[in-house]
Amino acid sequence: MDVKIDINLYFSASRKMLFLAAHTEGTAECLGIHEQADLVFKRCAEFQLELLQTLEHVLKLGLIRPAMATLRTALDLATRFAWLADDFENRLERFSKGQCPGVQKMMSAANLGWTGEYEKSYAPLSDFVHGSFTLSDFNKVEKDCTDEVPYSPLGDYFIVHTDQGMHARLVENLTPRELIDLHGGYITLKAFDIALAMLMRASGPYCDAFNWWPGREAMEAYDGLVRQYDEHSNFLWLTEKQRLTIYRVEGRYR
């Protein structure tokens, strides 16, 4: 399933909250008073902003496989930062040297509690990063050759034998617009989700009081959108919102 959403709206919101967070002192409250806390957070937020700008660009070109690969890179960064934020003082050296644990371990129930994220987001997205051949036909569509189907000079034609006899089939590329319609909603909402989770881990249970927070109306709309996806998808927001004081005390976003 792919929810039809405003790609421009959500990428603009993602860019805005990352920019505000990166350039507002004290945003990374959960990192404590360590002298390097603000700088480390700023660099991570700047990196994430670049990744989302790249993701938006390739998505709007209909380059879905590179977009999915970039999405996983963004998730990598958010995961490493969230792991660091849980114990900044003791983990900074390992983080700075690129010596974080494996992603599955960091996402485990014993650490971040993102087990569903590993199984339903990270692992499937990894196929795009590693160029798995299982995705070779990801951007293609198969059709019966009928009089109504125009000749495709770049398509692949083959003969199929059935009980009704032989007939021709065509495999051709989906158009960029078709690919965006199929996958653009998920990619856009997931990009926002990753940036949001990273910032929530930086700012803590009162993050709705920071200037980067999108606002109650925007988050209620987002909550409604991601709830429309089935059990095969995962959004960190649905877990992370339970850490918010306004969720636990006021019942907001339930």
Q: 74-122, pLDDT tens digit by residue?
A: 999 999 999 999 999 999 999 999 999 999 999 999 999 999 999 999 9
Q: Is 159's pLDDT higher than 80?
A: no
Give residue 244's pLDDT: 97
205-221 pLDDT, tens per residue? 999 999 999 999 999 99
Helix, strand or coil for residue 26?
Answer: coil
d(CA 163, CA 165): 5
22-61 pLDDT, tens per residue? 999 999 999 999 999 999 999 999 999 999 999 999 999 9
Helix, strand or coil for residue 165?
Answer: strand
Give residue 147's pLDDT: 62
The pTM score is 0.92
d(CA 31, CA 177): 42
CB-based contact 172:141 (threshold 8 Å): yes
Q: Is 1's pLDDT higher than 60?
A: no
Q: Which residues contact 114 (CB under 8 A, 6 or more apart)?
A: 79, 82, 106, 107, 108, 236, 239
Task: Report CA torsion sign: 248, 186, 112, 13.
Answer: negative
Q: Is 153's pLDDT higher than 90?
A: no
Give residue 2's pLDDT: 55
HSE, side-chain direction, 13 A CA sphere, residue 158: 6
Q: Is 17 exposed, middle or buried (0-12, 13-18, 19+ CB in 10 A)?
A: buried
What average pLDDT does the segment 153-167 reach? 73
Give residue 194's pLDDT: 99
